[in-house]
Amino acid sequence: MTDGDAVTVTVTQGERADSGGRWAPGDRILWRYRENGGPEVHICRPVTVVQDTADLLAVWMAPGTECIRPVLADGTPVGAEPLESRYAKPRTVRRGRWFGAGVLKLARPGDAWSVWLFWEPGWRFKNWYVNLEEPLARWAGGVDSEDHFLDISVHPDRSWRWLDEDEFDQAQRAGLMDARLAAGVRRAGLAAVEVIEAWGSPFSDGWQHWRPDPEWSVPSLPDDWDRTPAHLAS
């Protein structure tokens, strides 16, 4: 990847990846998360492929993208509910738009985390965000994962800190992850910290200087955003 690389915009929905192929720059796919402990998708974000190689999947979520996000059954935003009851109340999903600057998401095959880049308005780089999660599973229309609550913020001066440790602990108390999974998540986080402290890829790769192709339009959210990949269908 070099600054200002041109890409060709296409309108495909990523069908090449279903047979082991790679998506092309400009392809539109879905980046989804299943609910914790269940099969249903509760987060779905249409994104544009920046790069898809054997070593890295990079996608761009543009400002204004229509997404699916979880809310409590009465419509209350999840983050507005007190932590003690946040994971105990019934939920549903709602359409909404991603406001603010866009997000560049980077994931290496097999890693139990992805790295997101955030900018302030005017393309002032803000931070890297390590989202601990199940390794991405590829399917024809995109990638699926399950979020593991615990996160890491990495700042431009290379300092870092844990995020959402309270949610990680509460998720265990609520039965959303057992001790074995929680220990694995913590190990994955420590592995990510090793990469950060060594300033390895992707932190050292200059992605903070990347910019999206100005010809790209905002991908739309398909009506069948929650479709089940063939290999998961019962």
Which residue has tokens 């890295």? 56
Per-residue pLDDT of 152-203, as tens digits, reads 999 999 999 999 999 999 999 999 999 999 999 999 999 999 999 999 999 9
Record the pTM.
0.90
Do you know the residue count of the chain? 234
Whole-angstrom distance, CA of residue 127 vs CA of residue 132: 16
Whole-angstrom distance, CA of residue 208 vs CA of residue 119: 8
Whole-angstrom distance, CA of residue 52 vs CA of residue 107: 10
Q: What is the DSSP letter of 16?
A: G
Q: How many CB atoms lie within 10 A of CB 104?
A: 23
Q: Is residue 8 scored above 60 in pLDDT?
A: no
Q: What kind and span of H or E run contains 49?
A: strand 41-52
Per-residue pLDDT of 76-124, as tens digits, reads 999 999 999 999 999 999 999 998 899 999 999 999 999 999 999 999 9
Q: How far are the Cα atoms of 45, 95, 110, 141 from residue 138, in angstroms, in the given order?
A: 15, 23, 11, 8
Residue 218: which of 34, 31, 35, 9 has the closest Cα?
Answer: 9
% of the chain beyond a pLDDT of 90: 86
Q: Please enumerate, as own/partner, the contacts of 163-167 that have beta carbons within 8 Å and a separation of 24 or more.
A: 163/129, 166/83, 167/83, 167/86
The CATH number of the structural domain formed by 15-221 is 2.40.380.10
Q: What pLDDT score does 230 carry?
A: 55
Q: What sign does the dihedral 98-101-102-103 (CA atoms) show?
A: negative
Q: Under a CB-based contact definition with an 8 Å cutoff, are residues 126 and 138 in contact? A: no
